[in-house]
Structure 1
Amino acid sequence: MRIRIVDADITTLEVDVVVNAATSSLLGGGGVDGAIHRKGGPEILADCRKLRAGHYGRGLKTGQAVATTAGKLPARWVVHTVGPVWSTTEDRSGLLADCHRNALKVARELGARTVAFPAISTGIYRWPLESAAEIALTAVAEAEPGTIEEVVFALRGEDAMRAFRARHNSLA
């Protein structure tokens, strides 16, 4: 499985799966979640509402992942996962790794070949970039590829690019 790190708007990528750093409500929010819902259109929200009316009535738990249509995005599907909020008193790194592992598991079940991730939990959830990069890249590198040929980390800004590239180079 090839891993690429790019400075790109995740909503513009032509991949099979775009991973959404979702809120537990699945009904949209700010940051990446808001951008995916805005650019993907009402079809994504409609699918999320169906999920909430069914198995995910109480929302999606941190670290879990679930798929919906990608609506108007150039991707085929959106896989929503809820990242953990950074804590200085509790180690939640396992939950952040679960976001990546479970998103890839759902993507494999869909038969996806290409998957794009944002830097989950590094925005409003305040996860430090270096730590997030280590957890994300390690989880992806250790995952069973199945049908997945390429994982793209679509990042924004020099700090994110530097952190993820440094960790990626150390794995190579």
Structure 2
Amino acid sequence: MRIELVEGDITAQAVDAIVNAANSSLLGGGGVDGAIHRGGGPEILAECRELRDTRYPDGLPAGDAVATTAGRLAARWVIHTVGPVYSGEPGQAGTLRSCYTRSLAVADELGAETVAFPLISAGAFGWPLEDAVAQALAALGSAETGVSEARLVLFGADAFQVAEREMRRRG
């Protein structure tokens, strides 16, 4: 799988699937989650409510992933995943990496070939930027998947520069 770094707006990515850094309620929120729900329209929220009523009455667990329509977005699907809120506790990095690998597994089930990822947990969930990038690239770089391209869409020049440095470091 080819990993591409992009600075910009994840909702503008023309890919098969966009990954949403969701909260466990699946009912929208701020940051990436809010932007995806606003851009995709009410169809995404309707499917998320259905998922809460059926498969996830207690919310989507951290590290897991589930797909819905992408509504009015350029993508076909949104893959919702819940990152851990950063506390520095052992095991959290594994949960964060699971967000990426479970999202790719869902993408495989859908038949998606191109997937755009935000930098999961690095916003309101407080994960330190450098480590969030390192965890994302480690998970994407080691994943076994049929996805041909994973885009890591970074919000802002600082995040993009950190990701470029980490990519060069990894060779």
RMSD of the alignment, in Å?
0.9
Aligned equivalents of 2:18, 2:89: Cα separation in 1: 31
Question: Structure 1 residue 90: deviation in Å?
Answer: 4.3
Aligned equivalents of 2:62, 2:161: Cα separation in 1: 27
SS at match of 1:122: coil
Aligned equivalents of 2:158, 2:87: Cα separation in 1: 21
Aligned equivalents of 2:95, 2:141: Cα separation in 1: 17
Assess if the C-alpha contact under 8 Å between 2:61 and 2:82 holds in 1. Answer: yes
Map Cα deviations across residues 47-104 of structure 1 (whole Å, 9 max, x no partner): 0001001011111000000000000000000000000011134441010000000000
Identity of aligned residues (%): 56
Establish whether residue 138 from structure 1 lines up as the match of residue 138 from structure 2. yes
Partner of 2:72: 72
Partner of 2:39: 39
Question: Structure 1 runs of 4+ off > 4 angstroms?
Answer: none
- Counterpart of 1:142, as a letter, is S
Consecutive unaligned residues of structure 1, counting only runs of 5 or more, are none
Partner of 1:163: 162
| Normalised TM-score (structure 2) | 0.97
Establish whether residue 153 from structure 1 lines up as the match of residue 155 from structure 2. no
SS at match of 1:125: coil
Corresponding residue pairs, total: 171
Aligned equivalents of 1:89, 1:51: Cα separation in 2: 30
SS at match of 2:78: strand
- Counterpart of 1:126, as a letter, is G
SS at match of 1:153: strand
| Normalised TM-score (structure 1) | 0.97
